[in-house]
Structure 1
Amino acid sequence: MERQGIALVLSAPSGTGKTTLVKMLREEFPRLCYSISCTTRAPRDGEVDGRDYHFLSRERFRQLKDEHYFAEWAEVHGNFYGTPLAPVREMLRQGKDVLFDIDVQGARQVKNSLPEAFFAFILPPSLEELRRRLHSRGLDSEETIRRRLANAHDELKEAAWYDALIVNDHLEDAYARLRAAYKAATLAPHCHAQMLRALLEDFA
């Protein structure tokens, strides 16, 4: 009997290696997918409405936000982004696992809208290593790196309420921990409620 899907929420400071870990997890587990988000930004070349994003006006987005349509939403660089809640719930009902790759503010919102979700936070092994990784990417100015480190400090203050803390010291070890956390999350009783009900009915 097919289990219900889980919502897996991943957060991490910039430079921690979350993007690489997410890529590895999705390659191994194809049932782990994203929902299509909404945004108020203009479509980029090649993007298709309903496939890449649902492109909305700011007025329509605000209306949906006020109607509690989103599992989580945020304003980034002057544009709104949000994850519709109803499609996520339908995907979970169908047995699909839904991945949220979001910051701590978005995770807090998901905690309210999908309290049964599983929350994992990726940690750097040390501040010095995080600083080294940010510098080695060669993507940011010193001012941007300082800002990212300040943001990391604020994000780490939120990590204690997550369900799992995963240190990315060595990539393969970190992935093994993330994989184990994900697999353990799929064993939660709410994922197998239908099977349990069927067994109890058989006894009756």
Structure 2
Amino acid sequence: MLSAAAADRNKEPLLAVIRDNVSGQRALQALEVSSGTGQHVLHFARSLRNITWQPSEFDRQSLSSIEAYRAHYKPDNVMPAIHLDASQPHQHWGGIQPDSLDLLLNINMIHISPLACTEGLFKGAGALLKPQGLLLTYGPYAVNGEITPQSNIDFDYSLRQRNPEWGLRDISLVSSLAQKNGLYLDKIVDMPANNKCLLFRKESLV
């Protein structure tokens, strides 16, 4: 099992945001795109028992870690992890049906992946979420073309040095991608360590 210190630090603040914005009274279906080590999904599943969680990853080592966590904790509301490339159309996302998800979760992927993955994430969310379903993204963002504080400026620089296709995205950019796919930015929640949760809702047909 892999362990990321950042995941341990932010899992409780993230759980609080999910709990505040998702119903705890009825059975729900959730997909986590880019589940990383698996620490988040196991933590959320223990507290939010009404949600059936589908973890996914592109990285094979991370997929093995998720499955190791599942084997260790034996949660009955976490499905086997699926291999998922967010840059690919949702038809390749493990057979998840359109309008079937109540929640789609994406933590710390947008800034450490090519823009095609973010574009695919929003296209997939627009297709797979139920009306009024929630897409929650988490990470550091630029705001109106500005990155603050200095630690995030340095982080953005280091990401772009590692891969020119990586880097902090502007909230206006991800909002425009949301709108193109039938989603709207419902809420921004400031989080510890200069990160933000962006909560997007899928628009209803009526």
Q: Same fold (TM over 0.5)?
A: no
Scaled by the length of structure 2, what TM-score is found?
0.39
Scaled by the length of structure 1, what TM-score is found?
0.39
Greater relative contact order, per chain length (Cα 8 Å cut-off, separation 6+): 1
- Max Rg structure: 1
Greater strand fraction, Structure 1 or Structure 2: 2
